[in-house]
Structure 1
Amino acid sequence: MTMDLATKFGPSSRRLRLETLVRLRWVAVAGQLLTVILVAYWFDFSLPLMTCLGLVAALAAANALLSVAFPPTYRLEPVAAFAVLALDLFQMGALLFITGGLANPFAPLICIPVIISFASQPNRHSIALFVTALAFITLLAFTPFPLPWFEGRTPEVHPLLQLGMWSSIVSMMAFAAFYAYRVSQEATLLADALTATELILQREKHLHQLDGLAAAAAHELGTPLATISVVAKEMERELGQDERYREDVQLLRSQSERCRDILRRLTTLASEGEAHMREMPLSSLIEEVIAPHRELGIKVELIELSSRVGEPVGSRNPAILYGLGNLLENAVDYARSKVTVTVDHSPTSVTVAIEDDGVGFSPGVLQRIGEPYVTSRQGESRAGGLGLGLFIAKTLLERSGASLQFENGETLGSGARVVVQWPREFMEADTPL
């Protein structure tokens, strides 16, 4: 289920909000307009003023049109976002082309649409925009328009310096785009994994609340069913000797009694089992975690280092059950023949260690545990690799107050070991988890 969630909420499902682009473009309009006015009137440099103002006005008009045509919350499809960013690229490229090309100190700003695209759009659109920007940067090196400068002076840029400027802008654009892409990818994966974590935790809580729903259903259905039972008894007394109705009346009464028995069992489950379902000692919690994994062909050995007398009694926390269960399932997947679960408690702490006799964590995985979608150990498992489930388990356990330590055995290939430790007060019944 978690991998389906990751697919559903992955990077391809993200949409760039139009309002974000609109605000950024107004900043660009203001900056370009201020720069053109300062160069033309403050420094009194010669430049194609009307053409520059026309390009700035075109960007402002396109921005105003988008603001009027779409609501602020509208999110752009990838193709539409590519078109908007390409328009920004063309406008900036044209403005730089008529004001000195690569000699213009503002030439690196042409990278901005590409960086935005790599941070928010699918790769195919971003790469297309990168190639377009690369063509524009190359074209800027051959512009016939000089850099606006003092009257009577024409700054000359050596071709080697032009090449250096071209190389620096292209390399900056490539590095910044890749960096934005990686940061965006990691943030998206983390957000998707946390979403899956919340959904799984909610599912566990809903399952835990089914006993209350059963009690409510039994209470609501009890009164009408009792009425049906009374009427069935009266009908049996009056029509029990009539061959035409005897079997039907007996069937009606027997089925009503069966329904009452079912509701009685549901009521008993909800009332008598409520206490042990809501609160359980540490030993019972560990046994509930281990039980589903005893029949999988791998021996699961439980070692209790401290006595059950005085063990902590805490609330039945779905987050702890799921987290420990996932860690144990992973250990069973990679074990050769045996998994050891060691439990210890003291007046200040509760410790659970899960150790298998497999090949252990590879150095690369050991360094990245805690990130979503870490997908391999040193060897192959029987039921899949380390993936989103381990991230979810770690997140849930840490939210319950635990600290986790992942390590390998003392010798090479002696298995993996996970130590989970809580402050004792986090495992007591009077502490909300």
Structure 2
Amino acid sequence: MLQHAGKSWPHGPRQLVRSLAWLRLCAIAGQSLTIAFVTWVLDLPIPVGSLCAGIAMLAVFSVLAFWRLRQRTRIAAWEPVAHIAVDTLVLGYLLYLTGGASNPFISLLVMPITLAATALPLRSVSIVAVLSVGTYFFLMHHSQALPQVSGEGASGLFNLHLTGMAISFAITAGMLGFFIARLARALRAQQAEAEHERERALRDQGILAIATQAASTAHELNTPLSTMRTLLGELARESAQQETLAADVELLISQADRCRDILRQLVKVGSNQLSGVAERLSVARLFDSTRDSFALLRPEVEVEFSLDPDLAQRSIEVVPALQHALVNLLNNAADASRACGNTRVELVVGRDRESLAIDVRDHGKGMREADLSSAGMRFQTTKQHGLGLGLALANATADRYGGSLVAYPATGGGTRLRLLLPLKTLDNFTHES
């Protein structure tokens, strides 16, 4: 049994024991109805007392199984095998009293093997198979014969046997179809999850390679940037009397200073990432800082900002990479809006159940359906000179918090990117998170 998003067939002894417990209740009901039908409708002289005793034992064990499931202690791997063994032995006992191997319901001995094969290791399945096959062979040589149907003779007994085989076949087919279908669905879900993890690993490897190269580049740029800053300072003093030239030099100085600050921030982010340092601040302060940083980067873009007042003063732990991710999302949204002649982007901060929901919306032409489903998993871009890093870095940051990044079409055109970050993680973020 496998697990995927809580919808597929779960894996583990506890889940199998739970399935066996419910199937056992169905078996008790079916066996009771069968005895009643054979006794009152067919009027066959079967050992009702002994059969009811066997069903009563199964009912008592069923109560014990549900009691065991209510316990919080771990269910060991051998317990499902023990449960299956009890079910098989009780079924064998009931078949022994009703014809043994000639009973049409003998094929139900296959079901324990099927259930074990869906969840247990090969050794356990082998034990269950040996027990079922051994029970079958025992019943071939040891059993109490079924009485003849009154007034019908061999023909009536044969017809009754065929009817029993048909019912047994229907039960077996239904259960096999149900469990195999669930197992197949779980396998498909696991394959999809494996593909998702593979894409995530490739993305992270790409980010790591870029980060390594960025660290080397930052180290190499520091020296020529310092030299440029020194020369620009001297050039500013020499051109103080020429207004046009002085203004251009001041602009160059400001850009050089910004490059120096970016390099320092890059080193700071890397240091904090290695040490797991997170800064505690309010949600309002985080997004005010993000808005200010983006305003310096793109002063020509208008940001429509909305913050849930219930979240404004909530204190959270933030790593520098989170603010960079938000700025990247806003920058991508700005590029998409500008490509369509619009200068507006939206940043909406609210709550989605137990997560902080950050929506960044552009007013561009929107993303293709294929790109929406894989947003942030690959280095892909729709911009002519884009690198495809913005969404990938934002998605990687969301993964660090145990969150997610989802893209979907916005009402009225454009794309809305939703960054979901669990509030529980934000309240107490560590490097291991």
Q: TM-score range by the shorter chain?
A: 0.3 to 0.5
